[in-house]
Structure 1
Amino acid sequence: MFPEFTVSDENIDQQKEAVLKQIEENKKEIEKLLEIKDKTYKNFVRPYQLLQEKLGWLFSPISHLNYVKNSEKTQEAYTSVLPALTEYHTSISQDERLYRAFKQIYENEKDTLNQEQKKVLQDLIRDFELSGVGLPEDERKKIKDINIKLSQLQNSFAQNILNATDSYEMIIEDPDDVKELPEIEKDNAKIERDGREVYRFTLHQPSYIAYMTYGSNREKREQLYRAYVTRAPENEKILEEILSLRYEKARILGFKNYAELSLATKMAKSPQQVIDFLRELARKSRPQAEREYEELNEFVKDLGLKDDVQAYDFAYYSEKLKKEKFNVDDEEYKPYFEKNSVVEGLFKFLNRFLKLDFEKVDVPVWDETVDVYHIYRKGSLIGRLYLDLEAREGKRDGAWMDEWVSHHEDEKGNIIPPVAFIVANFSPSTDKNPSLLRPYDVETLFHEMGHALHHLLSEVKEPFVSGIAGVEWDAVEFPSQFFEKFAYDREVLKLFAKHYRTGEPMPEEMMDRLKNAKNFQSALAMVRQLEFALFDMLIHLDRYTAEDVQKILDQVREEVSVIKPPSYNKFQWSFSHIFAGGYAAGYYSYKWAEVLSADAYFMFIDNGIYNDELSESFYTEILSKGGSRPADQLFRNFAGREPDIDALLRLSGIKNGQEVS
């Protein structure tokens, strides 16, 4: 029923050959489909989708392994297959015979097709047009060459970050420099070097965050920070080339710039609408962000800091202020958030919220720390979920969900259940200690589970609009942001927050403190995200050089930011979301979608989080529909109205520039 993950360094070459063979097989099968005289949805569109789905089944293990267990073998396999895959997808997306066939089928059958089938064809026709199907041959070839080059550049951008992250270490010899680190973090950092006990810190998230939050030596904090924000300088040339190629592609396709091309498949209608949206949020958020920064600076004066808090001080002093103000210390909470306990508690919450059951299964995995579950709803098996949550060498930083198999109907009418991966970089377990999560890690796990459920709970039979496929990019964060908001709810915390040694539940006053601190420096966090989003949109409005990009970033920081980073900060060199991921001219999507998620969240808060009627509606109208309908329509079906931007401000404790009490 499910494919097994058996790809490793030892057999990845065979998997690569299987992908290349399937590409050639797909080309032959597409030619056979084109020979059909009377083409219909059933004999043409459905087989076409299944061919692409099969290719994805074979390629996903290669790309996944390259991200979670990177090696020379995975790099070689991924890099060598990428051009062939890109050339294939670009070639078929520009095939006028396919385009005409899809248009003809749509015209002939639109009155008898169901909504899912209509959406498949509407998206296909739109995407063919955005691929330049009607352009002269030389321009189509140019688009194809650009796509292949972009895929290679984006892969290089990501690989450079990973290499830089893996290659750096900061060794600390003086115990005074780590005196404030929690014992668990000290144990994780402690190594023997040249016969002496020293402390090793890297740019991987758990290690980096530990020292930036608790490192006593300001010079060492800046040293580590500088290494982090100047990673992969070779990416400056790459990002310039990426921006140039994106601009060129957009112009060939008839758009003014890449931002317009990007928005052609999103909810937002124009770059200016996005820019106005972001600036409105900034206008309403910045006054409170300035007050938050002023409060932090007043606080550190009493601690002896003579100048203002700098970017490399922020985590360190913010943690102290949060502890002072709310008596909340991440390290105090970590013993109550043991990884396995949190996972089990999340499953209990989802059982009450959506009637889901999770069964652990023993199947092949790529690392011994990976766990696998089958998911059931009301007694029926609906999908498989892989959880890979602990940090390790050779694993890309951050957290994400990726899909392997979509819920769909095969050629025989059988339902194929979906498969998803959730990947994170939480503190790794050791011989001495289990993996213990910070409160933010718990929130991250709930977030990624929202993405996974959006994929796994689909009831759509057409793979091209099942799960997250076909969902507008600026709506794809809606379910994930929705679920993360329950992470600190007292009733949810009671399901899993217990001390990993004693089994004692987290005291209710600790839960209250955590919830009270939820909006601590929320406006500073808001303007930071708005900085990234506005920067992303603005650099895609023209053909900009690396020098232009720096100037735009400086201008955005002047307009939006409250804590100004040092001049050596080259954040753009490691902004993989837009230069190696799917968020180019789309990073605003986080805030755009958060309006939807905040609005939906308050519907539950105001009516009870375990509200069966609301939960069933959320399942039916949002999670199970995938990309089969426009996201704004699905939200209206669920809420009975348009989304309200003030819900996001309410969630963050911000209203028209004033703090909400």
Structure 2
Amino acid sequence: MSPQPLALPSADWSEWLADYVLSRLRAVPRTVERLKDGTRRETADVLGLWNDADIALRGAESAALLFVEVHPELAVRRRGDELVQQVDRVRSERDLDRALYDVVAATDPAGLDEVALRMRDHVLRDFRRSGVDRDERTRARLRDISERLTVLEQDFGRAIRDDVRAIRIAPEQLAGLPADFIAAHPPAEDGLVTVTTDYPDYRPFYAYAEDADARRRLTIEFHNRGWPANDAVLHEMFDLRHEKAQLVGYDSWPDYDAQVKMIGTGDAIAEFIERISTAAAAAGRRDLDTMIARRREDDPAATIDRSEIGYYTQLIRREQYDVDAKEVRRYFDFTRVRAGLLEVTGQLFGLEYRPVDVPLWHADVTAYDVYAEGELRGRIYLDLHPREGKFKHAAQFELVGGITDRQLPEGVLVCNFSRGLMEHRDVVTLFHEFGHLIHHVLGGRQEWARFSGVATEWDFVEAPSQMLEEWAWDAATLGRFAVDESGASIPAGLVGRMRVATDFGKGMLVQTQVAHTAVSYLLHRDRPADHTAAVSNAMEHYGLIAELPGTHFQASFGHLAEYTSAYYTYAWSRVIAKDLFSAFHGDDLFDPSAAHRYRDLILVPGGSRDAADLVADFLGRPFTFDAYAAWLDRAPVPTAESAP
């Protein structure tokens, strides 16, 4: 019988989640004990039992992590936190079990196929990285560190998720905001308007509000989410990661973390930071000088601070490139964008999305079964609007990892978009995150749980998603679903100007990303006593502009939990993504020969091969820096009518 999607409950979510997770956790030690029972087994049988335990453990973790972030009931989120801690304990016990390691290490690799051999190598590597070959006292300490880090990472994320801040301003301070934004923010009885740090409020306000003082106030609140609670959390988190790395034989956490990534070493991260910073220096300086000059037209004595980057970027694009983002957004109604996304990716990858009426955790969520050539390949859930207690950023979460003939892959897209008109940059974000979801589904037909879905090296994970962003900048693609209230499609000329206009600001954007990369790396490498001072120095040196006084960006930098010292992966993946996109023809992004080769050679293999090999197979050569450098070097060209 073909595998079927997971049946979610219509009620009693806390009980269902506990039963689902705990039943899988109970299966893990039972399987481990079978492996250690002294029975002589062939290598394939040993790896098969290991895979059974992996499937159970991954299933338990995926469900617990997801519903911690998305379920509207506080009791379910709290139960999820407890279950995540139990998952970590079970994993630690397995990964630090010396007798189990000896069983796997004693297997004979002869006769294994390429993927099974890769599986065995990865299991043994992960065992060693866990510290299984250390003495019992060290293993006990590593167990304690792992459990404590799980709690700290939960505390860190919860502080960000629950800390929604706001400013209260006079209605006239909404000047510059789109009409629908103003209509959605009526004054309260005291005559004041509330604007929050949630994305649908913060992003438009940051970009369009003409009142500099109000922009600064909201930016300060946004950059102080999670403060001061997360200060102590981060210090302990970084110290424990460093201790873990040293206990298993590495000089630092970045060295430990980078060993299993494409980049290889911590020192290589530092070198990459400098390379990207140098490459972006001219473009970043050019953008900043243009911003300062425009800012001084309004106030001759003024300088630029971080609350003004978004506003002056949009202002300059409107004045010098004839692109008014407020006008652009009228073409991007959320419902049409969502439908267009499914149409575009369906054609591109040969997929069909069929809506399904199933129990869901919130009324905002929609579910679709994914078919390829009439065959059910997985299920996706779209949870795209903000609510209290929900994850505050944008990401793809796994619900079920796909296993050939056993489990269908199921993934959840979790975002925080407006219910009405969307910013074009949010459309780009939606395409980006959907790229992860497609990767999870198409890469979810694997024998080994270890390689299912988005299971490549972490510094390749973003490349397929970043490449899919390119379709959100294509006039023919946008013309399918980007229409205004009269039904008129977005003009191709406007899309062309939008593409040109993005050349202004990309230097600052890359420099800011480099600064965030430096923050994630340096806080882990150096573990400074004063995180805020170190962040401000990194932002000023790499991002060209210091943080606003009194702000603590690191307290809400959620990637410090998941990406740890490896935020560089966004820039690294962008280099690969630009090279991947060079294989598509700009006049026909739906050419099936390119799209299907990309699908089959990059997405479908999941993590079953090294990412560098997947890319080389698709491109016919190793990836290079050339396409990225050409994109970065392309200077902005103002329109003739608006050039100064």
TM-score band by shorter chain is over 0.9
Q: Is the CA contact (8 Å cut-off) linking 2:513 and 2:543 kept in structure 1?
A: no
- Mapped partners of 2:85, 2:55: distance in 1: 19
For 1:201, the aligned partner's letter is V
Q: Paired residue for 2:120?
A: 121
- Mapped partners of 2:69, 2:185: distance in 1: 24
For 1:423, the aligned partner's letter is V
1:456 aligns with 2:441: yes
For 1:589, the aligned partner's letter is T
| Secondary structure in structure 1 of the residue aligned to 2:384 | strand
Deviates more, 1:149-158 or 1:58-67: 58-67
Q: Paired residue for 1:490?
A: 475
- Mapped partners of 1:602, 1:218: distance in 2: 41
For 1:424, which of 395, 415, 419 is the aligned residue?
415
Q: 1:383-439 CA deviation, whole Å, 9 max, x = no partner?
A: 111111112222121100011222213xxxx34321111111001x3xxxxx22111
- Mapped partners of 2:60, 2:239: distance in 1: 32
- The structural deviation recorded for 1:175 is 2.4
Q: Is the CA contact (8 Å cut-off) linking 2:459 and 2:569 kept in structure 1?
A: yes
User: Where in structure 2 are the equivalents of 1:73-88 lying within 5 Å?
Assistant: 73-88=75-90
Deviates more, 1:20-29 or 1:480-489: 20-29
Q: Paired residue for 1:432?
A: none
For 1:425, the aligned partner's letter is N
Q: Is the CA contact (8 Å cut-off) linking 1:119 and 1:465 kept in structure 2?
A: no
For 1:188, which of 184, 190, 194 is the aligned residue?
184
Structure 1 residues 314 and 607 mapped into 2: Cα distance closer, same or farther (>3 Å)? closer
Q: Is the CA contact (8 Å cut-off) linking 1:70 and 1:394 kept in structure 2?
A: yes
Q: Paired residue for 2:642?
A: none
Q: Paired residue for 2:397?
A: 402
Q: Is the CA contact (8 Å cut-off) linking 2:59 and 2:401 kept in structure 1?
A: no
Q: Paired residue for 1:466?
A: 452
| Secondary structure in structure 1 of the residue aligned to 2:416 | strand
For 1:420, the aligned partner's letter is G
- The structural deviation recorded for 1:522 is 0.4
Q: Is the CA contact (8 Å cut-off) linking 1:599 and 1:648 kept in structure 2?
A: yes
- Mapped partners of 2:292, 2:10: distance in 1: 52
1:226 aligns with 2:211: no
User: Where in structure 2 are the equivalents of 1:31-180 lying within 5 Å?
Assistant: 31-35=33-37, 37-105=39-107, 108=108, 110-165=109-164, 168-172=165-169, 174-180=170-176
Q: Paired residue for 2:310?
A: 315
- Mapped partners of 1:398, 1:312: distance in 2: 19
Q: 1:68-102 CA deviation, whole Å, 9 max, x = no partner?
A: 23543134212322332211101100112221222
Q: Is the CA contact (8 Å cut-off) linking 1:7 and 1:62 kept in structure 2?
A: no
User: Where in structure 2 are the equivalents of 1:542-561 lying within 5 Å?
Assistant: 542=526, 544-547=527-530, 549-561=531-543
- Mapped partners of 2:38, 2:79: distance in 1: 36
- Mapped partners of 2:92, 2:535: distance in 1: 32
Q: Is the CA contact (8 Å cut-off) linking 2:471 and 2:477 kept in structure 1?
A: yes
1:480 aligns with 2:480: no
- Mapped partners of 2:626, 2:178: distance in 1: 39
Q: Is the CA contact (8 Å cut-off) linking 2:460 and 2:611 kept in structure 1?
A: yes
1:245 aligns with 2:240: yes
- Mapped partners of 1:7, 1:101: distance in 2: 43
User: Where in structure 2 are the equivalents of 1:259-338 lying within 5 Å?
Assistant: 259-304=254-299, 306-338=301-333
For 1:57, the aligned partner's letter is G
- Mapped partners of 2:600, 2:62: distance in 1: 28
For 1:514, the aligned partner's letter is M
- Mapped partners of 1:558, 1:304: distance in 2: 22
Percent identical among aligned pairs is 25
- Mapped partners of 1:634, 1:601: distance in 2: 14
Deviates more, 1:611-620 or 1:277-286: 611-620
- Mapped partners of 2:33, 2:616: distance in 1: 41
For 1:620, the aligned partner's letter is D
Structure 1 residues 332 and 177 mapped into 2: Cα distance closer, same or farther (>3 Å)? same
- The structural deviation recorded for 1:643 is 1.0
- The structural deviation recorded for 1:203 is 0.9
- The structural deviation recorded for 1:317 is 2.2
For 1:630, which of 610, 613, 616 is the aligned residue?
610
Q: Is the CA contact (8 Å cut-off) linking 2:365 and 2:381 kept in structure 1?
A: yes
- The structural deviation recorded for 1:480 is 0.7
Deviates more, 1:88-97 or 1:338-347: 338-347
Using the size of structure 2 for normalisation, the TM-score is 0.94
For 2:430, the aligned partner's letter is L
- Mapped partners of 1:517, 1:40: distance in 2: 61
Q: Paired residue for 2:8?
A: 5
Q: Paired residue for 1:29?
A: 31
- The structural deviation recorded for 1:359 is 1.3
- Mapped partners of 2:42, 2:573: distance in 1: 36
Q: 1:504-552 CA deviation, whole Å, 9 max, x = no partner?
A: 211222222222223221000000000111222222224x2442x3443
Deviates more, 1:369-378 or 1:24-33: 24-33
| Secondary structure in structure 2 of the residue aligned to 1:189 | coil
Q: Is the CA contact (8 Å cut-off) linking 1:400 and 1:422 kept in structure 2?
A: yes
Q: Is the CA contact (8 Å cut-off) linking 1:354 and 1:616 kept in structure 2?
A: yes
For 2:511, the aligned partner's letter is V
- Mapped partners of 2:343, 2:398: distance in 1: 23
- Mapped partners of 2:47, 2:606: distance in 1: 19
For 2:525, the aligned partner's letter is L
For 2:211, which of 186, 192, 217 is the aligned residue?
217
Q: Paired residue for 1:640?
A: 620
- Mapped partners of 1:306, 1:480: distance in 2: 42
- Mapped partners of 2:211, 2:502: distance in 1: 28
Q: Is the CA contact (8 Å cut-off) linking 1:404 and 1:420 kept in structure 2?
A: yes
Q: 1:4-51 CA deviation, whole Å, 9 max, x = no partner?
A: 23276x431452254234323421232123225222344332233233
Structure 1 residues 191 and 381 mapped into 2: Cα distance closer, same or farther (>3 Å)? farther
Q: Paired residue for 2:368?
A: 373
- Mapped partners of 1:208, 1:610: distance in 2: 35
- Mapped partners of 2:352, 2:529: distance in 1: 50
Q: Is the CA contact (8 Å cut-off) linking 1:447 and 1:484 kept in structure 2?
A: yes
- Mapped partners of 1:114, 1:573: distance in 2: 46
| Secondary structure in structure 1 of the residue aligned to 2:280 | helix
Give ranges in structure 2 of 5+ residues lacking alignment: 639-644
CA RMSD of aligned residues (A): 2.0
- Mapped partners of 1:183, 1:198: distance in 2: 17
For 1:145, the aligned partner's letter is D
Structure 1 residues 481 and 329 mapped into 2: Cα distance closer, same or farther (>3 Å)? same
Structure 1 residues 243 and 59 mapped into 2: Cα distance closer, same or farther (>3 Å)? closer
| Secondary structure in structure 2 of the residue aligned to 1:267 | coil
Deviates more, 1:583-592 or 1:606-615: 606-615
Q: Is the CA contact (8 Å cut-off) linking 2:175 and 2:211 kept in structure 1?
A: no
Using the size of structure 1 for normalisation, the TM-score is 0.92
